[in-house]
Amino acid sequence: MDNYNTVLLSTPLFTGFTPAGLNTLLQYLKPQIRLYQKGSVALLAGDDTAQIGFVLTGKLNAEKATAAGDMQQFSKLLPGGVFGDVLAGTRQKSPVTITAQENSSVLFLPVAPVLNPQKGAPPELTQFLQNMVANTGKKYFALAQRAEIMALPNLRAKIAEYLLLQAAENGRTFTVPFGRAGLAQYLNCERSALSREIAKMRKEGLIDCYKGSFKLLNL
Amino acid sequence: MDNYNTVLLSTPLFTGFTPAGLNTLLQYLKPQIRLYQKGSVALLAGDDTAQIGFVLTGKLNAEKATAAGDMQQFSKLLPGGVFGDVLAGTRQKSPVTITAQENSSVLFLPVAPVLNPQKGAPPELTQFLQNMVANTGKKYFALAQRAEIMALPNLRAKIAEYLLLQAAENGRTFTVPFGRAGLAQYLNCERSALSREIAKMRKEGLIDCYKGSFKLLNL
DNA sequence: AAAAAAATGTTGCCCAGGCAACAAAAGGTG
DNA sequence: CACCTTTTGTTGCCTGGGCAACATTTTTTT
């Protein structure tokens, strides 16, 4: 029981929890642990689950069928990874399929007793509920911010907006959480084009950078 | 009191409510109604409110400061419009400013007693809580879908994906909720380019359409 | 440290689609 | 219906950046 406590506590849905509080809550919520063999499916696109999955061990993949019919990979889920957290509250069907890429174990937490608390619900439930709502809200705003950046009319604007937002959070010097390839994907542009434009901006004296580290010289 | 019940009930956050249930809930949540003169500010960017705003009468505007410093308009809020619904649960600062475009009245609902229910909370609270979570989740998925479409590599793909998604929900013949200009904005492309490509697709016999009505002939 | 693999930089070609400018059609309004 | 406004279609021009191909640097492996 206690061995995966630390994994759960590292999760945004359990921020602010003590190990004891977590245990109390888990006793109430009655989670299930399921094991998946490499290649088996933990969540199928089209399901409407009402459970949140927490990856305890192993590695899973979130995939999505494209219009072309092939499976497009999306994100990897490592221990501490969470899935279904946004979906579980809605009565909607999952847009993604989640498959075990290695033998994995996942803890599933039903949301019904969170959204529809029973007599005997522990006070910790409130914290979890707040975390759930805050978590989804944060994800929404993060996505909205990305959509806004993607919508900008040219590459220079995208880069500038992204860097300015980073600077607003971390000051004029900061390190981005992406490699070039990842940043290109985030900004929705070609990696080569991104390099080109960054080089141009450097030549113009707007920024200074080395790999993931950026310094804004001139806004 | 009863005159704005219907407005609230038309809102996604109150779906499934009876007028009586709504009243019971409101008595517990102790909403505030505020009046705004034309031009005054109902929510300032940077605030971290913990209230959900329901427009009862009038018309407000959601605006956002762009990197360039000017105010970019976003969406209009008419009676039945809701704002702060996603924000309220997170402890984040509002990215938008909301200004009254006409004299308006807004009902504010505090979320604290929803996320942190007190003794004496009515059973209706549960339904509202579920609506809140479902509402944010739905918005998240709607936005994720748009982001995915925007990320497609060319205009034809964007249009096709959008139409296919619509068809998946409504069948081969359907009407889109946008005019051409709105659709172009949603797809993040030029209106003229959209018209051009739609015309091309029509000539190729892929689709048939008149204004907002589309019919998919060949997938 | 040598070799292999992965990430990043650089550059030329070329076309999808942004932009502008105008035409045509559809909706209001008095 | 005559007038104005808004929405939609069409078309020519021109460029930003996608794409491919290769160079260089960094990281990992043995």
Per-residue pLDDT at B7 exceeds 90: yes
Per-residue pLDDT at A30 exceeds 80: yes
Split at pLDDT 50, 70, 90, the class of A120 is: confident
Q: How far apart are CA B112 and CA B93, in angstroms?
A: 16
Distance from CA of B123 to the nearest CA of A (A): 9
- B192 CB closer than 7 A to any strand C atom: yes
Range name among A1-5, A89-93, B136-140 with the lowest pLDDT average: A1-5
Per-residue pLDDT at B203 exceeds 70: yes
Q: Is B210 helix (H, G, I), strand (E, B) or coil?
A: strand
- A180 CB closer than 7 A to any strand C atom: yes
Question: Shortest CA–C1' contact from A154: which nucleotide?
Answer: D16
Per-residue pLDDT at A2 exceeds 60: no
Burial B64-89 (b: 16+ CB within 10 A, else e): beeeeeeeeeeeebebbbbbbbbbbb
Give residue B69's region: left, alpha or beta (phi > 0; psi -120 to 50): left
Instruction: Give the pLDDT score at A166.
Output: 96
Give B 124-183 residues with CB within 8 A of chain A: 126, 129-130, 132-134, 136-141, 143-147, 150-151, 157, 160-161, 164
Give B 6-65 residues with CB within 8 A of chain A: none
| Average per-residue pLDDT for chain A | 93
pLDDT tens-digit map of B142-189: 999 999 999 999 999 999 999 999 999 999 999 999 999 999 999 999
Q: How far apart are CA B182 and CA B177, in angstroms?
A: 9
Split at pLDDT 50, 70, 90, the class of A72 is: low
pLDDT tens-digit map of B33-46: 999 999 999 999 99
pLDDT tens-digit map of B80-118: 999 999 999 999 999 999 999 889 999 999 999 999 988
Per-residue pLDDT at A105 exceeds 80: yes
| Average per-residue pLDDT for chain B | 93
Kindly state the tokens that stand for A46.
């089209």
Q: Could you tell me which residues come within 8 angstroms of residue B183 by beta carbon, excluding any fewer than 6 positions away? A: B162, B176, B194
Instruction: Give the pLDDT score at B76.
Output: 86
Contact A133 B146 (CB under 8 A): no
Q: Which residue is nearest to nucleotide C18 (CA to C1')?
A: B190
